[in-house]
Amino acid sequence: DATYIPLRRDTYQREAVYVAVGIKPNGHKEIIDYRIAPVENIGIWGEMISNFKERGLEQVELFLSDGFVGIKDMLKQYYPKSKFQRCLVMRNIKWKVRVSDRKEALDDFKQVHKSSLKEAETVLHAFYDKYDSKYSSMIKNLQKIEEDLLVFYQYPKQIWPSIYSTNMIE
């Protein structure tokens, strides 16, 4: 993920800090690479992923990323056997619903990552049904990426909090 932080150079402005964190099978996390650039773009991500290959990273089990356009396809070019998990960040829901609906919608959506895969699918579809009449655009967007929302269930439960969201970077 990339996060924007204030940097002082010739002027004071916010720039994108790209961070790639690896999680080993034992749960140990380490920063694999980072870059600083004025804005987030696919070219910088391409450079980083290419650099992983050059440095000898042969296989990646899972990539976790936000919805940056083109990133999933770019990742597959370098690591075709890898899986892709779309970040389940509550603020993606938070800013798309009215303030009056926010707490309930967030509480409902949180249940997606607190159960089994079968239950999560049921909860997610109930979420669609409940909010489609008010927030059809948000629901359509979630449905488009659904195949990438629940991939984390294929991994041990103890690492779910590390692989369903990029929050640790932000």
Statement: residue 169 has pLDDT above 60: no
Q: What percent of the chain has pLDDT over 70?
A: 96
pLDDT at residue number 89? 67
- CA-nearest of 108, 104, 96 to 135 is 96
Q: Are strands 12-23 and 62-65 parallel, antiparallel or unpaired?
A: unpaired
User: Rounded to an integer, what distance in angstroms lies between the CA atom of residue 15 and that of residue 89?
Assistant: 21
User: Rounded to an integer, what distance in angstroms lies between the CA atom of residue 91 and that of residue 102?
Assistant: 10
User: Rounded to an integer, what distance in angstroms lies between the CA atom of residue 142 and that of residue 157?
Assistant: 23
Residues 119-164 have pLDDT tens digits of 999 999 999 999 999 999 999 999 998 999 999 999 888 888 888 7
